[in-house]
Amino acid sequence: MDKFFTVDDIAKMTSFTTRTIRNYLKDGLLTGRKIGGQWRFTQEDFINFINQGNISAMMVSENKQTVLDFVEGVYSDYTGEIQTCTIVDIYRPAAEVAELRDKLMVTLSLDAEKNNTSGFMKFSYEYEEAEGKGRFTLFGSPAYIAAAMKILQEATQ
């Protein structure tokens, strides 16, 4: 069975607000389907959305600001006891890193449901063609960061 993402899930993975996500839906930049009155998105819907050039550029900009906010101590998406931000660079071809992004996205969301590691979790991704690297920026609980790091490490060995 396919994993479906909610508006909140898409917002967390892009650093956009839920209002912005709903605007993208209204404008046709993000496609999905309503199930029981709630918007749901497949992995393919999400990938098509973030692969749009203007969306990708806005995500990079939002992500940089979120990291700066975290460093300055004004990051407000999470108020738990431990806040963690990790940046991981992986030097591989774009297609390999995109596959890794997809695996990370699905595995972590399923793991959160199964093992209750959700708490607060968010990741963003960008690929820098000139350098041949994918950059993953992860925010979340230590359990979430550990699960993400394990996926990234296993996939790159």
Per-residue pLDDT of the chain (157 residues; tens, 9 = 90+): 567 888 988 887 777 889 999 999 999 999 999 999 999 999 889 888 888 878 877 877 877 888 888 888 776 655 666 778 899 999 999 999 888 888 887 776 665 555 555 556 777 788 888 999 999 888 877 888 888 888 888 877 7
Q: What's the confidence (pLDDT) of residue 77?
A: 58
Distances (CA, A) of 115 to 50, 111, 112, 142: 27, 6, 5, 14
Give CB contacts under 8 A, 24+ apart, made by 91-100: 91/131, 91/132, 91/133, 92/132, 92/133, 92/134, 92/156, 93/132, 94/127, 94/129, 94/132, 94/134, 97/125, 97/127, 97/133, 97/134, 98/47, 98/127, 98/134, 100/134, 100/151, 100/152, 100/155, 100/156
Q: Is residue 90 in some structural domain? A: yes
Q: Is residue 79 in some structural domain? A: yes
At 3, is the secondary structure helix, strand, or coil? coil
Q: How many residues does the chain have?
A: 157
Q: Is residue 57 in some structural domain? A: yes
Give the sign of the dihedral formed by CA 112, CA 116, CA 122, CA 128.
negative
Q: Is residue 70 in some structural domain? A: yes
For the chain, how many structural domains are there in total? 1
Q: What's the confidence (pLDDT) of residue 23?
A: 94
Dig out the tokens for 121 from the structure: 């979790």
Q: Which residues pair with 26 in a beta bridge?
A: none
Q: Could you list the residue range(s) of the whole structural domain that residue 139 is in?
A: 7-156
- What's the CA gap between 90 and 54, in Å, rounded? 23
Q: Is residue 2 in some structural domain? A: no
Q: Is residue 1 in some structural domain? A: no
